[in-house]
Amino acid sequence: MPLYLNDDQQMLQDSAADFMKGEGDVAHFRKFRDMNCKDGFSHDLWKKFAEMGFTGIMISEEEGGLGLGHVDAGVVLEQIGRNLTPSPFLATAVAGVEALNGGGKTLRDKYFPGILSGDSVLALAIDEGAKHRPDQITMAASREGNGFKLDGKKQFVVQGGSADTLIVAARTSGSAGDEKGLTLFAVDTDAAGLTRNSVRLVDSAMAAHVEFDGVLVDADAVIGEVDDGDVVLKRMLNAGRAGSAAEILGVGAGAMDITVDYVKGRKQFDKIIATFQSLQHRISHLYSEMEIARATVLKAQQMLDEGSSKAELMVSVAKAKAGRATALSVKEGVQMHGGVGMTDEYDIGLYMKRDRGLQEFMGDANYHTNLVAEMHGY
């Protein structure tokens, strides 16, 4: 498979670009931020995502979706990144759906219709500390009657306050650090004993601290196998990581474009500042980094779609590389904008804040760099 988008993916890119620009551009983002929206996104827009078929992008055609893969989800996510479109697409339609794709038919039949119609929002309850450490999960799920009882705390549950269902990773046996003993659950947010405290993040997204105090779920809530949750968790993490790499790539590409436009227009010392070689070389270096990141992200997605055994390695490479390239893009962007880069009026600062949020989502560049070393056996 050549490492560029095929004609269908190109068409999808065009329609996703038109859609995000038309319905969910930066002005839309500002509107929802400024109204202090408790969701941090528009449910109406989410409905329109569903009308476009985007919410079912990774749901099979037999189940009413588009039956597409990671590359295609990434195409949509890049446009979301470029436009800073606020939506639950990544957690719900990509990572959440991939988790459910690894589960049984009962669960899929229960949740897919709501996702396909744009009525349902999923959120991922994985992290328990300030940094993403899925191997260190301690939250307990103990056997109770026919099902399980959940006790513990999760944080950085993005859009957790708006979600009707949480995908929760908890420990049914073993202890922190063990590969086995994890189990994944689909938990409805109106369950007794579940409390959510939403907070606004630096990028204006909403994330919840979630407490589970003896929350009872029945055995049907298990996604995949009890104690073997690492299998489906890995599947979900791969989708979420490749997806967030694609979104962050879009953020970096968008930031680079507006910065290039800005330096082509701004005059100082009677000269357009883009004529200064000190800026030209930095922008060209950034271009090079973004190009490499783009190739890496696409490679990881293609490998996931092919079911390659090396896909996980490339996903970590992609999240790390795209993360570092975009961090460079937004930092150079603010610097090259000069004083106005510090103002809320100009968009570049919004890109910097969005980048910061996505860096932490499902592991930052350092986390994935460490994983690469581990996967290489050192």
Partner 1 sequence: MSDLETFRAETAAWLEANCPPEMRQPLVDESDACWGGRNPTFKPGQKEWLDIMAAKGWTVPDWPKEYGGGGLSRAEAKILGQEMARLRCRSPLSSFGIWMLGPALLHFGTEEQKKHFLPPIARGEIRWCQGYSEPGSGSDLASLQTSAVDEGDHFVINGQKIWTSYADKADWIFCLTRTDKNEKHKGISFMLFDMASEGVATKPIVLISGQSAFCETFFDDVKVPKSYGEGVSSVVYEVNKGWDVAKYLLGHERSMIAGGGSEGATSLGAKFADQYGRDEMGRLDDPMLRAQMADMDIEVLAFRAMAERFGDTFKAGLCHPAQPNMMIYAGTEINKRRHELIMSAGGSEVLEWESEATNGGLTARSWLRTKANSIEGGTSEVMLNVVSKQILRLPGA
Q: Which residues bind partner 1 (CB under 8 A)?
A: 2-4, 260, 263-264, 271-272, 274-275, 277, 279-281, 283-285, 287-288, 291-296, 298-299, 313-314, 317-318, 320-321, 368-370, 372-374, 376-378
Sign, CA torsion 139/304/297/9: negative
In whole angstroms, what is the distance from residue 107 CA to residue 331 CA?
A: 43
| Structure-block tokens of residue 92 | 């719900």
- Give the residue with the Cβ less far from partner 1, 22 or 177: 177
Q: How far is the CB of 19 from partner 1 (least distance, A)?
A: 24
Q: How far is the CB of 162 from partner 1 (least distance, A)?
A: 35
Instruction: Give SS3 for 120.
Output: coil
**CA separation, residue 230 to residues 84, 115, 124, 134, 178 (Å):** 32, 24, 15, 9, 10
Q: Is 152 left (phi over 0), alpha (psi -120 to 50) or beta?
A: left
| Structure-block tokens of residue 205 | 């997204």
Q: How far is the CB of 13 from partner 1 (least distance, A)?
A: 14
Specify which residues 144 forms β-bridges with: 147
* Type and span of the H or E element at 193: none
Q: Are 187 and 131 in contact (CB under 8 A)?
A: no
Helices (H), 122-276: 229-265
Q: How far is the CB of 77 from partner 1 (least distance, A)?
A: 18
In whole angstroms, what is the distance from residue 343 CA to residue 340 CA?
A: 5
Q: Are 60 and 67 in contact (CB under 8 A)?
A: yes
186 closest CA partner among 157, 224, 138, 234 = 224
| Structure-block tokens of residue 245 | 């790499």
Q: How far is the CB of 16 from partner 1 (least distance, A)?
A: 20
Q: How far is the CB of 2 from partner 1 (least distance, A)?
A: 4
| Structure-block tokens of residue 15 | 């329609």
Q: Are 68 and 57 in contact (CB under 8 A)?
A: yes
- Give the residue with the Cβ less far from partner 1, 2 or 145: 2
In whole angstroms, what is the distance from residue 94 CA to residue 169 CA?
A: 17
| Structure-block tokens of residue 377 | 């056996």
- Give the residue with the Cβ less far from partner 1, 61 or 291: 291
